[in-house]
């Protein structure tokens, strides 16, 4: 290949994106870490360097543990469902049946619609005298405070997240299913294996990397939940739905406690980066030609 570009040409092409990433990504990244060692709570214009004091405070703060517990509940409830149900649906849709496109469109619809509208729609379903409580009453179960009872609120929010994510992960699985060799299924059919055995012995092992990928992606998004909470519960009742991002938001933009919020952001950063690293190194190598 003859060299047709000057020494500076590559940098010229990289410059515009580089400037944006520098200002709105790299500087904020290091500033977050820097801020986490400072205390702004006395004077917003004049911070004190306090070392790891913010971190020590965080680990003594019961609300922080509550928030981490909520995020953990999110992970253990939402992630397995989002890894399994969309796979099941994708297998069904992957059969040669009529109406596939319509099913795909309808199931994908929640992914497209703004989270704010989705959250409002669910808030309405969850109303005290709403349609879900009516259904419970029909089944002779007492109405529950879907979003007002600290026992249930987090699960109600999780249901929204699952509902909104199913179509997205189903499409990821559908793409993966295309790579499973047809002959393997034919062999199963000859053996007379049933639906579940067929897919447990052929499909699942074959697309294990995709299942793992969905698990890590859905874990990362579970840790970034914000809009659902903001629109539906504002973290209440009694902090029962407060997630880590919501708590950071509250501390930073409502309490103006910049140092404290930044220290929590660093903790979030560390956890998400571990998941992302696993993701990139194990499942997305070809995407980046690593």
- Interface positions, 192-251, toward another protein (CB under 8 A): 195, 213, 217-218, 220-221, 223-224, 226-227, 230-231, 245, 248-249
Binding-residue pattern over the window 80 to 99 for another protein, x denoting contact by CB under 8 A? ---------x--xx-x-x-x
Scanning residues 258 to 287, which ones bind another protein (CB under 8 A)? 258, 261-262, 265-266, 268-269, 272-273, 276-277, 280, 287
Q: How far is the CB of 52 from another protein (least distance, A)?
A: 18
Q: Which of 77, 127, 144, 193 binds another protein (CB under 8 A)?
A: 127
Cα 259 to Cα 39, 44, 50, 154, 196: the distances in Å are 5, 10, 9, 28, 53
- The answer to whether residues 209 and 281 touch, using CB atoms and an 8 Å cutoff, is no
Q: Phi/psi at 39 (nearest 5 deg)?
A: -120, 120
Give the chain's count of helices (H) and strands (E): 16, 2
Cα 262 to Cα 33, 96, 252: the distances in Å are 7, 52, 8
Q: Which stretch binds another protein (CB under 8 A): 59-67, 148-156, 164-172, 196-204?
A: 164-172
**38 three-class SS:** strand
144 touches another protein by CB under 8 A: no
Q: Which of 67, 78, 87, 107 binds another protein (CB under 8 A)?
A: 107
**3 three-class SS:** coil
Q: Which of 75, 115, 144, 184 binds another protein (CB under 8 A)?
A: 115
Strand ranges in the chain using DSSP code E only, listed in sequence order: 38-39, 48-49
- Give me Rg for the CA atoms of the chain: 24
Q: Which stretch binds another protein (CB under 8 A): 52-60, 65-73, 106-114, 145-153?
A: 106-114
Q: How far is the CB of 272 from another protein (least distance, A)?
A: 5
Determine the Cα–Cα distance for residues 220 and 199; give it in Å rounded to an integer: 27
153 touches another protein by CB under 8 A: no
Choice between 72 and 195, CB closer to another protein: 195
187 touches another protein by CB under 8 A: no
Q: Which residues pair with 49 in a beta bridge?
A: 38
Helices 27-35 and 258-278 sit at what angle, rounded to 10 degrees? 120
CA 74 to chain centre: 9
Locus of tokens 């006395």: 42
Q: Which of 57, 69, 108, 236 binds another protein (CB under 8 A)?
A: 108
136 touches another protein by CB under 8 A: no
Q: Which stretch binds another protein (CB under 8 A): 57-65, 109-117, 148-156, 185-193?
A: 109-117
45 touches another protein by CB under 8 A: no
């Amino acid at each position: 290949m003859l060299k047709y570009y000057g020494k500076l040409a590559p940098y010229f092409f990289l410059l515009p994106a580089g400037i944006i990433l520098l200002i709105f990504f790299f500087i904020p990244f290091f500033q977050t870490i820097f801020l986490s060692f400072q205390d702004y709570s006395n004077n917003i214009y004049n911070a004190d360097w306090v070392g790891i004091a913010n971190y020590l405070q965080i680990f003594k703060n019961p609300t922080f543990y509550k928030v981490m517990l909520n995020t953990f509940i999110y992970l253990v409830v939402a992630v397995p469902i989002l890894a399994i149900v969309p796979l099941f649906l994708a297998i069904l849709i992957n059969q040669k049946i009529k109406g596939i496109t319509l099913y795909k469109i309808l199931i994908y619809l929640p992914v497209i619609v703004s989270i704010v509208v989705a959250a409002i729609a669910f808030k309405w379903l969850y109303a005290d005298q709403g349609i879900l409580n009516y259904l419970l009453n029909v089944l002779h179960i007492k109405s529950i405070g879907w979003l007002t009872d600290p026992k249930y609120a987090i699960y109600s929010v999780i249901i929204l997240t699952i509902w909104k994510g199913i179509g997205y992960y189903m499409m990821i699985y559908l793409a993966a299913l295309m790579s499973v060799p047809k002959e393997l299924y034919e062999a199963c059919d000859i053996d007379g294996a049933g639906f579940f055995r067929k897919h447990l012995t052929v499909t699942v092992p074959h697309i294990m990397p995709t299942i793992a990928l969905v698990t890590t992606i859905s874990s990362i998004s579970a840790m970034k939940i914000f809009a659902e909470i903001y629109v539906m519960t504002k973290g209440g009742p009694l902090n029962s739905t407060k997630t880590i991002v919501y708590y950071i938001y509250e501390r930073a933009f409502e309490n103006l406690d910049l140092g404290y919020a930044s220290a929590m952001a660093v903790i979030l950063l560390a956890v998400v980066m571990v998941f992302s690293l696993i993701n990139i190194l194990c499942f997305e190598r070809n995407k980046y030609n690593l």
